[in-house]
Structure 1
């Protein structure tokens, strides 16, 4: 059965038993909170719904009193609501689309900064590829870039406090150009938002990065840094108006203005990402940000994350790339295009379990590419379908890429799964249920 026929078969199969009723019923079962409230801000993560349900569970701001429920429609109001009331439970309802960079990149430029002068001074034919820019003085093009970047950093990052729920109202709520920082806190819920990746207005040129130099950017759409009990549900992560495919090249390299869509790092723990759409991005999700022993000491035994019923569409790589953590990935649909590099990055001491997932790959792209070995670590990969065919992802990888042999057996068995659906049904379930505007 080819890819199109398989997808049509899955959709027809759902239709036979009542597509709309089944999809609404199944997505509601998995995505609905413990509360029966129709107010999304009062809903909490259900029991056994991934790692974020561990221990105390995840309730966000569900217990907020009336004084700590906010409806916001602009960036200033959003940041003010975050800052008000400290760690007291709060619910922030986002109305419409909030733009953190509504005045454009020029609003962050330091006096005297000129991108043309930057390109002229650091062109490889004049600057070379052996000397980095770290020693450049403050009044140099690089120094002025640094100052401009610092102003953007202060403006677009939003620190999310503990015991907070952020939820979009209706089908068109979103935040663009911002970096949500869930840092060093516990108990956060983010739901029903279209999150457009921030663009780095001032990427840095690093002549020493690789053989040809490279542009390096900052700002992830959302960062879970040293935090616990975080639930990300029914959001759409996208590059939106600024896809990499439309980015220019300078010095012969892509002018990269995006970092990741979601980073879970620095000892973060107990995270569930459910019914989201991750689309149109390069390096998408990073779990554990370094192999270094100093970082590893804080990551070992943590970075426990669950991904279920998400759509990963038209991504290049890292969905996710994993270091150290016990990461459970089940009932997701991965849809690739010709830019595809890999989905699961097997990193240092990772313990990935990938089961009951569906993959739709274009003609000419082998299932062997789904796994990418960065370090020698075992994983469990069972009952996955590729273009409708049951596929042993480890076996096909090892057969075609023997120099990167992977080993089966992650060494643990996920227990926190609220509901596992048959893998043949996953593409249609995710199609109708995942993303912003589809939460119930």
Structure 2
């Protein structure tokens, strides 16, 4: 492998995500040529434990033999077919299986709309909410509310949710339906945050189509946790206002928090649920939006009432086959139970990190642990110092600015988890000691 050639071509032609041109041109390049299990393997043959599962999607690690087999088997039969006016076995079976594992409670998620990534699954949910109300006489419901700091994707509709932050500020003229609830001085004061949302629903709830939240755990905001009781409170407020609750489980779903779905910590069933990332085990872009029967009923009728939305690769057979195998692996290999057993080790590690001078706000839930090393947020640099130190020690630990966190594969073996957490502890300690 000619590493220098790859770096040269990358710097000349690739436009990298979330990367400044300055960093792209000067930062030491991490050239990955192979993945295996929990490891990234670079051009020099060195192996690194992946602490963040490639932006949280590789929940079963890389090249899981059952997922690879499902992919190649389906590719040999039918790699793709358009679903306009047609269906196929993998999509139909997967829809039924997703309904089976969906959160259970006072309403039922019964319908599945496929798409290709998390942001798009949120866009679909927004359109379902808005159109469903509009074509049934509730034309005043044109607004969407969201939690401060929420991240729901990089498409225009998804960016319109929540506050104007590093990801969305420059697009303000294009955005719609911003969170009009009263701002709070301290976004970590969850009581005040939810007071604002509930108060807005009580005052002007008849203008709201839906409230969109990452249940219990906000990912890109810096791994921020909020109490389950607040989600329960929001569910009640949405029902009282007659609007929908959309759960963005793109990151939190599929066992990351210790339950299949994070909203299960609160015993809450949303009206719409968005899932992606771990849905396809990190093998392929694939997503789904689950809806209750009540939401689907708002679209019953002729073609003028249809949801006129779709994607070329809607319900792609490869993605559907892999997603079905992911569900089978979770079930047959007891992934959730095993992850819950490992969660205490993550908690213990981050509890210790939180006691170090210079560390603050240590938190953990399921197979996620996080700690802040400063207050500069996404543009902070301390996390990147830890990234460099951890990389030197054989762990890839991509931070969120000043937030150092782990979201490893759920099936990571005990010994490797101990090794990973040991490197995290050592790297954070070294950076903080250096000042």
- Give the TM-score normalised by the residue count of structure 1: 0.25
Larger strand proportion, structure 1 or 2? 1
- Give the TM-score normalised by the residue count of structure 2: 0.26
Larger RCO (CA within 8 A; separation ≥ 6) = 2
